[in-house]
């Protein structure tokens, strides 16, 4: 499935599944990070809230790069 088609899907498990499959077939850690962020968004996770929650200690959230 093309990335543009996935982006147009409504949030939910199917969209997260398609992002996961595409991410597995993509080279580059920053691109995979981008797919992980999209998977979380497809599952209705608020990334900003999650980043705040995880901003404890030395943890650094490196933003993903779109493929």
pLDDT reported for residue 7: 96
pLDDT reported for residue 2: 94
- Distance between CA 29 and CA 58 in Å, rounded? 20
The answer for residues whose C-beta is within 8 angstroms of residue 41's C-beta and 6 or more apart is 11, 47
Q: Where are the domains of the chain?
A: 3-54
DSSP state of 50: H
pTM score, whole prediction: 0.88
28-54 average pLDDT score: 93
What are the pLDDT digits (tens) for 45-64? 999 888 888 877 677 788 89
């Amino acid at each position: 499935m093309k990335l543009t088609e996935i982006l147009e899907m409504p949030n939910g498990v199917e969209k997260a599944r398609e992002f996961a499959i595409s991410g597995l077939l993509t080279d580059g850690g920053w691109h995979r990070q981008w797919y992980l962020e999209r998977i979380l968004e497809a599952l209705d996770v608020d990334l900003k809230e999650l980043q705040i929650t995880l901003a404890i200690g030395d943890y650094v959230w490196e933003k993903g790069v779109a493929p």
